A and B are shown apart, each in its own frame.
Chain A
Amino acid sequence: MTHAFEIERLEKTFSEFKLGPIDLILEPGTVLGYVGPNGSGKTTTMQCMTGLIRAESGTVKIFGKENDPNNPEWKFDVGYAGDKRVFYENWSGEKNLNFQKQFYPDWDVQLEKELIKRFEIPIKKKAKRLSSGNRAKLSLIGALAHRPKLLILDEPTSGLDPVVRTEFLDVLFEVIESGERAIFYSTHILSDISRIADELAFLNNGVITLKTSKEDLTENWRRISFKLPQEISEFPAAVAVEREASNYRIISRNYQKTIDALKRLDAENIRAARMSIDEIAVQILKNKN
């Protein structure tokens, strides 16, 4: 089966930062959340994928086609909404979309109209006069209207107020439900990710520290409290340990393994509580490995 995208040994070096080597695969119909703190390399990865910057080494294939800047056929399969929303500022939103439309034979005018209506964008207004929320929506319409098989969204909801963000995510939900479209979504707003992602890849200092499914995280991670008279600083699969006298509170990335070990240690009063994706993500990013 052809992957929606396949990144192999991607590397890009700046004077004070190095991305990679990155290896990442996304299957069609899947939403992959790309999570990491500011400056971890999320945007750089996406810019390398879309050809806005050139990587030093490694390959990126989109639905089996290499992202060659001289042979841009692969771009027909990609919808990209970047971190910076760039337009012809003195043109209206409508004119900007008309400009984009010329390049995509599969541009769906009906979908474009529906999204404009749905988002309530003042489409006749010049781009430079649009609010940041409306610019984000316009950018998303531009990325969606040619019905790409892969959507690359780089922090699409950053800077948006909660109402606009919810509207934005609702539309994304509908897009996801409607078909086989793969979405690669970067953010540091963890609540967004917990709503839409099937898989998560965590990036720290230019390196992917973990890639797993959302279910895997919610099924395996637990906040565990227990009583143990002796002082122990490390437990199997524990990523954080807090102790107050004989009361322990730990976070485990594999609660079954941790609880088995605790039972062997004769720990008492063992209680395990589920964690939200947001909490888990924070722990993963804090631990960095």
Chain B
Amino acid sequence: MLKILMAEIKYFKLPLLVIFALPLIFTVAALNDILLFEQVYFLKKYFWSVFVGLGTYALIIIIWSLRKKEIRERVHAALPVSVGKLAVGRWIFAVSPFLIVGFYVELLRCFIPVRQIIFIDRINGQLGMLFLALAAVDLAMNSWSALEFKRYDKRLFFTGLISAALLISGFGVIYLASASIIQPLSPSGDENIFLIQPQTSGGEEILFFVWGTVLSVIDLFVFKKRKSFLT
């Protein structure tokens, strides 16, 4: 398991490095009031959410599309490693960037004065939602392989049912986490660029991470039950 995990980390070292370096760079920048943060309100406002939030997600999407393109599960399934270990290695690789960045952002919120890191609270809302979405999509895909019935329509039905349940539960979590999620960010409406963006402040976005982690753990067990490792 560790060998596979290390290989994945080495293979994707550049995007992973960027994922972990971005929050650090912006923390240093914020603490020093450099990078025009103080002078340019726009930069101060959107750098965190665009670079750290969406940037992290974009890089994770790149990593997972590449894994899919190179049929990584097939490479690993041929090795003398138990499917349980494969599933755990895959799970750690999938969730750790989200959880590490999320945890780091929460730490910042606790220890750094708000003036330097305004709007940082949005990042975990974004990251959490995206983590939840990715876990749900992966669970649906693995269920497709695990629920291999002789009848195609039965398989389609059950996978559809699982996907629908995931979507509904995901939206439920989002609703619980922030009632203002689809409200413009300011009453004037001139800043509604990121409409689907929770502006939570009381730490409700942790729910996204919790629910995303729950789904990813279910996904871990479903992965072990896959009937095929060809895709």
- Evaluate contact between A52 and B229: CB separation under 8 angstroms: yes
Per DSSP, chain A at the interface is: loop
Could you say which of A50, A90, A99 has the most chain B C-beta atoms within 10 Å of its C-beta?
Answer: A99
- Evaluate contact between A82 and B82: CB separation under 8 angstroms: no
Could you give, for residues 220-231 of chain B, a 1 whenever the CB lies within 8 Å of some chain A CB and a 0 otherwise? 000000111110
Interface residues in chain A, defined as those with a beta carbon under 8 Å from any beta carbon in chain B = 13, 15, 47, 50-54, 56, 69-73, 75-76, 80, 82, 84, 86-91, 99-100, 102-104
Q: Contact check: which of B72, B83, B227, B230 meets A70 at CB < 8 Å? A: B83
Nearest Cβ on chain B to A155's Cβ, whole angstroms: 15
- Evaluate contact between A88 and B70: CB separation under 8 angstroms: yes
Can you list 23 residue pairs at the A/B interface with Cβ under 8 Å?
A: A51-B77, A51-B83, A52-B77, A52-B228, A52-B229, A53-B230, A70-B83, A71-B82, A84-B74, A86-B70, A86-B74, A86-B75, A87-B70, A87-B75, A88-B7, A88-B70, A88-B75, A89-B70, A90-B11, A99-B7, A103-B3, A103-B80, A104-B80
Given contact pairs A13-B150, A52-B228, A88-B75, A103 touches B81 in the complex (Cβ within 8 A): yes
Nearest Cβ on chain B to A139's Cβ, whole angstroms: 10
Given contact pairs A84-B74, A86-B75, A47 touches B230 in the complex (Cβ within 8 A): yes
Q: Beyond A73-B80, A100-B79, A102-B3, list 11 extra A-B contacts (CB 8 Å).
A: A51-B77, A51-B229, A52-B230, A70-B83, A71-B82, A72-B80, A75-B79, A86-B70, A86-B74, A89-B70, A103-B81
- Report B-chain residues with C-beta under 8 Å of the C-beta of A47: 230
Interface: B152 (CB within 8 A): yes
- Report A-chain residues with C-beta under 8 Å of the C-beta of B83: 51, 69-70
Interface: B17 (CB within 8 A): no
8 shortest A-B CB distances, which residue pairs? A75-B80, A69-B83, A15-B152, A53-B228, A72-B80, A54-B227, A86-B75, A70-B82
Interface: B78 (CB within 8 A): yes
Interface: B203 (CB within 8 A): no
Interface: B160 (CB within 8 A): no
Report how far A177 CA is from B226 CA in the complex, Å.
39
Nearest Cβ on chain B to A128's Cβ, whole angstroms: 9
Interface residues in chain B, defined as those with a beta carbon under 8 Å from any beta carbon in chain A = 3, 7, 11, 70-72, 74-75, 77-84, 150, 152, 226-230
- Report B-chain residues with C-beta under 8 Å of the C-beta of A103: 3, 79-81
Report how far A13 CA is from B228 CA in the complex, Å.
13
Given contact pairs A13-B150, A86-B70, A76 touches B80 in the complex (Cβ within 8 A): yes
Report how far A45 CA is from B70 CA in the complex, Å.
23
Nearest Cβ on chain A to B47's Cβ, whole angstroms: 30
Report how far A86 CA is from B229 CA in the complex, Å.
12
- Report A-chain residues with C-beta under 8 Å of the C-beta of B77: 51-52
Nearest Cβ on chain B to A46's Cβ, whole angstroms: 11
Could you say which of B77, B80, B81, B150 has the most chain A C-beta atoms within 10 Å of its C-beta?
Answer: B80
Q: Contact check: which of B71, B72, B84, B228 meets A54 at CB < 8 Å? A: B228
- Evaluate contact between A50 and B78: CB separation under 8 angstroms: yes
- Report A-chain residues with C-beta under 8 Å of the C-beta of B84: 70
- Report A-chain residues with C-beta under 8 Å of the C-beta of B11: 88, 90-91
- Evaluate contact between B82 and A72: CB separation under 8 angstroms: yes
Nearest Cβ on chain B to A93's Cβ, whole angstroms: 14
Nearest Cβ on chain B to A130's Cβ, whole angstroms: 14
